[in-house]
Structure formats: structure tokens, C-alpha cells
Amino acid sequence: METLRAKRESAVKSARVREAKERQARAGKRSGGGSPWFGYVRVYANPDEPTPRKRVILREELQPVNAPAIRDAAERVLRGESVGSVIREWTARGIKPVAAAEWTRASFVGTLASPRIAGLLAWQGQKFPTTDWPAIIDVDTHEQLVKLFSDPARRKHVVGSQRHLLSGLAPCPKCGHGLKYRKFSSYRDRADSYACVRGVGGRCGGVAIKAELLEEYVTGAVLDALESPRVQEALHAEDSDAAHREELLAKIQRAQDVRADARRDLADGVIDRNDWLDIRQRTEDTISTARREYDRLAGSATVLGDIPPSDGVREAWESWNTDRRRAAIKAVLHKVVVKNLPPGAPNNPGGNMKDPAARREREMAALRQRVEFDWRV
């Protein structure tokens, strides 16, 4: 009997603690202290207290260096820049995590996907707005980051590390694997190429194309596309989608609040079970419909956020690093289509021509016949 009584008391106490925690979360009130947060500086009511556990947190303030770095990193990752590129820049600037010597991809993704930096308090799989600390990014940006990192097809492009402009963007016409950059030693007197490297992940090794010429040709086509009216119009379309996404997030939050109020009314006897079931069904339908529409808009959003007007595209391109250029290419292209060599065509169109300009022109003419573009916009 004593054992059963103790188990019952433990269960009752556990339920009370969970209810108290949930009330705190719904009110947007934090509980406990925990370790410091990256991007924030804690202000204590008793900062001179030597024992950290006894310090009382008064508020959280934005760290003047790390908070803007998070905001900038979120924008760059959503534009398609790789996680490794941002980590390398942070390391060079001396921006380190709170409890580690250096950043890993997992810790970086966890920081950007955290609800905390969007001014949200997470509890039992739900997110509640709070005023206990300032937000670094808005909720729409947070939801786009969560969507990005949870989608394997999109995540691999930003969490992986590609060091060359077109690696993986041009599939092999024979086996379908992405062409990789292949560098030759100077003593072999052969130009670097994008190739299907035999034996790596089941690749056939049957296609190669000169890297310098392919990058030049693709770059020219992408710059022309970025300067075109169709891309400039896509910029305005993306702005309207952003406003619609904010409306959908607000709609989801209102439905969640209505459901939470109805559950409390059921517990207090204000409404009966039938009313509660009806309200729950209606709010779940609203939330699921709005969430599907939001995911569709967030998943199809392009990375054109910082594309300048037509007259400034080429100057911006010169200032971008490889990751940002890759993001711009993926914004306007689904893929670069490289075709097989026509029957009887030579592997080296330039042959033994002694004039470098003439040889290059002939090689470029042959490349144009092999390369097509699958445009996105």
C-alpha cells in the first residue's frame, strides 16, 4: 500500500509540474537558467554572486557581434550559400560557439534552426511567442530555415561543402551522377575538367568537359538571365509571397491559441466535450491547411533576395564568393545539361592550333553544341 501510495503521489506531482511548465510556456515565460545562449548576453540581478547557480537572470540582451552574425548567416544560407562557407568566415573572424572550441556543421545548423533566436519558446513540440528575450530573426525566416534543414533534398546543397562553381550542378548524360571537378597535375599537360569520375559512387567515367570553358559559358548565360526582365519580375513575386507567408503564420498562431483556450474551458467546465471536439477539429483543419500552403511557398522560394537591379548584377557577381555564385546559379537554373560528344567528333576540338585565341574560339564553339540549360525562371 505504501508503494502504491508513493507511485500515485509521484504521478500527481509529475502531472502538476508538467501543467505548471505548460502554463509558463503558453505565457511565454522561461523557466530555469541553463547555459548561456549564443547571440545573447545575460544581465543578472546579482552579478557579483560567485556561485553561478545562485545568480538571478534579469533579462537577455543581444550580443553586439554574434546577433548580427546570426542574422547575416540566416540570410546567406537561405540564399543557398553553404554552411561550411559561413563557418569558415566565422572562424576567421573569431566567432566561436559558447561551449566548444570550434563550430561543427551540426552545432551551426542547430543554432540557426533554434526557435529561441526567433523569440519563440519551445515546449513539447510546440512553439510559443515570448517577450522574455528579443528575437534575432523573424518567425518567417525561422520557419524557412527549419523547412530547409528538414528537407534532405535541399539540406544537402547548403550543409555539404562544394569548392567549385559547377560541382554537382551538371549531371552525367550516361549515368546521371553529378559531374565533379577533376584537377590534373601540371606535368600531365592537361586542362582541369568537370568529369564523371569512374568508381566514385557508381559513376561511369564516360564524360568530361573542360572546366574553364564550361564555367565561362555558364557564367555568361546566368549573368544574362539575372539581368533579364523575367528575373527582375520574380523578385517582386517573391516579395508578395513573403507577405502571404507572414499572414499564414499569424493564422496558424491564432488557431493554436483558440485550441488552447478551448482546452482550458473544457477543464473549467465552461464548454462540454462535444464543443471541445468540434473546436479541436476545426482548428486542426485550419492549421493543416495553412501549414501546407506555407510549406509550399517556403519550399518554392527562390534565393534571389539580394540580386541587385540589372545594371548592378555583374559588379555584384565579382564581389560574391563561390558559394554565393553557386546559389545564384541554382536560383535561375535547375541544371546544366551536358550532352555526349557527337559521333566522330574529336575529344580535343582545338587540335594542335598554335594561335591560342583561335584554338579557344573553336573549343568554345564545340562546347556550345554540347551544353544546354534547364531554366528555373
In a domain, 7, yes or no: no
Mean pLDDT of 43-61: 84
Cell of 367: 562546347
Residue 165 covered by a domain: no
> Same domain for 244 and 289?
yes
- Assign 207 to helix, strand or coil: coil
- Summarised one tens digit per residue, pLDDT across range 304-355 is 556 778 888 888 888 887 878 887 888 788 889 998 887 777 777 777 777 8
pLDDT in tens, 262-300: 888 888 888 888 888 899 888 888 888 888 787 767 654
Do 152 and 252 fall within a single domain?
Answer: no
CATH at residue 49: 3.90.1750.20
What does R_g of the chain's alpha carbons equal in angstroms? Answer: 27
Angle between helices 83-93 and 66-78 in degrees, nearest 10: 160
d(CA 373, CA 362): 21
In this prediction, residue 64 carries a pLDDT of: 92
Whether the per-residue pLDDT at 195 is higher than 50: the answer is: yes
- Helix-helix angle 152-159:139-150, to 10 degrees: 100
Question: CA 305, CA 337: separation in Å to the nearest integer?
Answer: 26
Domain residues for the domain of 370 are 180-226+307-375
Cell numbers describing residue 134: 528579443
Q: Is residue 166 part of a domain?
A: no
Answer whether residue 324 is part of any domain: yes
Per-residue pLDDT band for 36 (boundaries 50, 70, 90) equals confident
**Rounded to two decimals, what is the model's pTM?**
0.60
Judge if 145 and 37 occupy the same domain.
yes
Q: Give a yes or no: residue 287 inside a domain.
A: yes
Please tell me whether residues 208 and 61 are part of one structural domain: no
